[in-house]
Amino acid sequence: RTLKDAHEIPTIPLVERDPEPGERVMYFPFPNGGERLVLEGLVDKASIDIDIEKKDGSLHVRRDSFLFLGKGDINYSGSAIFSLDGDFLGTLFAGEEPGKNSTMFAIKSKYTRRLIQSLRSHLYEC
């Protein structure tokens, strides 16, 4: 796309709410071998802290996550997660058992929204 076509790119609503426990969500994993997928999941916990062990053995805690039940694969990380109304709820981070129905970890969209707002305000200052 050229810059003049930018107005044709659809916008994605970034919500500032947490997903609701029991809410159905959709996610669109990156094409794996050219296959385009639309998968559904079910929110398990709307807010959770995740401990991530780094290669050096230290722990990093993410306090911006939620859990949902869905099918995962190692290539699905970074996939967008939407409500059935089309609101962007978050980004797929990791799953417990790739290739099977399991618990999936996601980063909430409200943190993405705040980052975009911050970047936008700094750009306007320039």
Q: For 33-66, write each residue's pLDDT tens digit.
A: 667 788 899 999 888 777 777 778 776 667 788 8
| In contact, 49 and 107? CB cutoff 8 Å | no
Greater confidence (34 vs 105) lies with: 105
Question: Six-digit token pair at 14?
Answer: 């970034």
Can you give the pLDDT at residue 1?
43
The Cα 13–Cα 86 span in angstroms is 8
Can you give the pLDDT at residue 114?
64
The Cα 50–Cα 23 span in angstroms is 20
The Cα 59–Cα 62 span in angstroms is 10
SS3 for 60? strand
Can you give the pLDDT at residue 77?
80
CA dist 117 to 58, 110, 120, Å?
31, 10, 5
The Cα 49–Cα 84 span in angstroms is 25
> Mean pLDDT across the stretch 79-89?
89
Can you give the pLDDT at residue 97?
62
